[in-house]
Amino acid sequence: MTAPYLVVGAGPTGLGCAAELATVHPVELIDRIPVPGGEAGWSSPEITALVKAARRSGVRFRLGNTAVRWEPGRLLVAGPGRIEWLPGHQLFYAGGLRPATAADLSITGDRPAGVLPATVADHLLTAQNRLWHRLAVIGDGPWARAVAVRARAGCSAVIAITPGCDAPEWADEAITQATQIVIVGRDRVRAVRVCAKQQWTEVACDGVVLAASPRPNRNVTGALGEDSPGVAFVQPVDALSVSERSGIGRSTARRWITANNGTE
């Protein structure tokens, strides 16, 4: 019996990819979170429909398992109380996106407390933590608005710092066309120095959230580079809606099937 195809990531992209692959081969869908949906959440009608479609195609769900290491032919996954190797013929990696890091954005200066990736800030704010009084949000990526709205609901003023020309409507203040950013603060962040339109300004703040230009998450050993043997990556960066993402998952799977037809 041939080993199944393994899809890592049960967000919209992975759900679409898995459903399409399952039309030609057994598929197991793996996600570190015990529910499907990824960043899109598990409860929306769109995700529910995608999950149903995947199940109908015969996709086997292995949720609550974190993919750790890929060696051609098998994937190491860690789940509650159990670490195991899963046989896999091919790995499709749909691990989603993360915000750009300080290094991605060439941010220099101090490394104080109070500077957080947007995904982390979102998580802490969702858990009802009040964190700041004056928050600088760097970038206008997919998490920026959610973080800004939650921070403002918790009485923080929000200053947007963005490379774009338009001031985002989710901010109280904005510095646009920012080209260079320096963090200021020894123990806790106290300001951000920004170069915009060839002029430096210092913005006082007590929190900084990195929410710029999303990058693909890559964290499975053996499945990091595009040239990793036995791995295909499905991580659309620009598509935002659930249907766009699942569509890209499906079409990528379809293209892969066509390209590899007869080579199995």
Partner 1 sequence: MAGQPQFDVVIAGGGVLGAAVAARLSRTSARVALVEAETDLAEGASKGNAGVAVSYYGAPGTQQTQLINASNPGWEALTGRLDVPYRRLGGLMIALNADEEQRLQETLAEVHACGVRGELLTARQIGDTEPLVSERAVAGLLLPDEGVIDPMRLTISFARLAAANGVRIRLGERVLGIEHDGDLSSVITSRGRLETRFVVNAAGVEADRVSALAGGETLRTWPRKGQYVVLDRAFGQKLTKIVFSTHTPQTKGSNVVPTTHGSVLLGPTALDIEDRDDRATDSETVAWILDNARRLVPATADAYIMKTFAANRPAGDEAHRLRTDARQPRLLHVTDRSAGVSVSPAAAELALTLLRAAGLDASDRDGALDALPRVPRLRTSADPVALTDADPRYGQVVCLCEHVTAAEISAALAGPVAATSVDGVRKRTGAAYGRCQGSLCLAGISFLTAMSTGQGPASVSQTARGTVGS
SS3 assignment for 138-200: ECCCCCHHHHHHHHHHCCCEEEEECCCCCCCCCCCEEECCEEEEEEECCCECCEEEEEECCEE
Distance CA 100, CA 106 (A): 10
Using the minimum distance from each CB to partner 1, give the nearer residue, 19 or 76: 76
> Rounded to an integer, what is the distance from CA 250 to the centroid of its chain?
19
Residue 151: CB minimum distance to partner 1, A? 11
Q: Quickly tell me which residue has 């015990």 as its tokens.
A: 34
Distance of closest approach, residue 147 Cβ to partner 1, in angstroms: 12
Rounded to a whole number of angstroms, the minimum distance from the CB of residue 210 to partner 1 is: 8
> What span, in angstroms and rounded, lies between the C-alpha atoms of 150 and 136?
13
User: Which residue number, 57 or 219, has a Cβ lying nearer to partner 1?
Assistant: 219
Least separation in angstroms between residue 218's CB and partner 1 is 7
Tokens 């998580």: give the residue: 123
Beta bridge partners of 159: 136, 173
- List interacting residues with partner 1 (CB under 8 A): 32, 66, 68-69, 76, 78-85, 98-99, 101-104, 106, 108-114, 116-120, 123-124, 127, 129-133, 180, 182, 186-189, 206-207, 217-219, 221, 224-225
The residue (of 4 and 9) whose beta carbon lies closer to partner 1 is: 9
Nearer to partner 1, 10 or 116 (CB): 116
Nearest CB to partner 1, comparing residues 22 and 67 = 67
Helical H segments across the chain, by residue range? 12-21, 45-56, 118-126, 144-153, 242-259
What minimum distance in Å lies between the beta carbon of 119 and partner 1? 5
- Nearer to partner 1 by C-beta: 188 or 255? 188
**Nearest distance in Å: CB 51, partner 1:** 23
* Separation CA 154–CA 131 (nearest Å): 8
